Amino acid sequence: MTVVGETVRRAQPTDVGAICGLVRELAEYEKLLDQCTVRPEQIHTALFGDNPSVFAHVAESDGGVVGTAIWFLNFSTWDGVNGIYLEDLYVQPASRGSGMGSALLAALAAECTAKGYTRLSWSVLDWNTPSIGFYESLGAVAQDEWTTFRMTGTALEALAQRVSP
């Protein structure tokens, strides 16, 4: 897919370093860089290993990767079919406004419609008003009635230990 002179395509193994760099830029933007420990080999295995669990599209401009959409499949028990959960969408600041963010989301919407998936979902930090406005301009609707939960570290380990061996 080409938009305004840029290209959006499925990620390839040669994109792993760029994707990792974009993930770190996103973590920095979200003021969470200290929590970002991802390594290129992890991204490579997740995207291109024997049993890929994650997928990605990249946006290119002038031959360089300047944006990415990293996603995985979820499942709607109500619809009985898969959907896409967008884990990360990031376009470098210098390339914003060129249509690449829209093109990345359009590529995921096309994946959904081509495969019969009924949902494209993601989360956004409540303080990220530019992104919220962008998503709403595309027709996305905030799910304000839902609260996201996360369990990590010692709480995750403590709960896991409740399972009998």
3-state secondary structure the chain: CEECCEEEEECCHHHHHHHHHHHHHHHHHCCCHHHCCCCHHHHHHHHHCCCCCCEEEEEEECCEEEEEEEEEEEEECCCCEEEEEEEEEEECHHHCCCCHHHHHHHHHHHHHHHHCCCCEEECCCCCCHHHHHHHHHCCCCCCCCCCCCCCCHHHHHHHHCCCCC
Residue among 85, 90, 117, 135 flagged as catalytic: 135
Catalytic site residue 85?
no
pTM of the predicted model, to two decimals?
0.91
From first to last of its 165 residues, the chain has per-residue pLDDT tens of 444 457 999 999 999 999 999 999 999 999 999 999 999 999 999 999 999 999 999 999 988 999 999 999 999 999 999 999 999 999 999 999 989 999 999 999 999 999 999 999 999 999 999 999 999 999 999 999 998 899 999 999 999 999 977
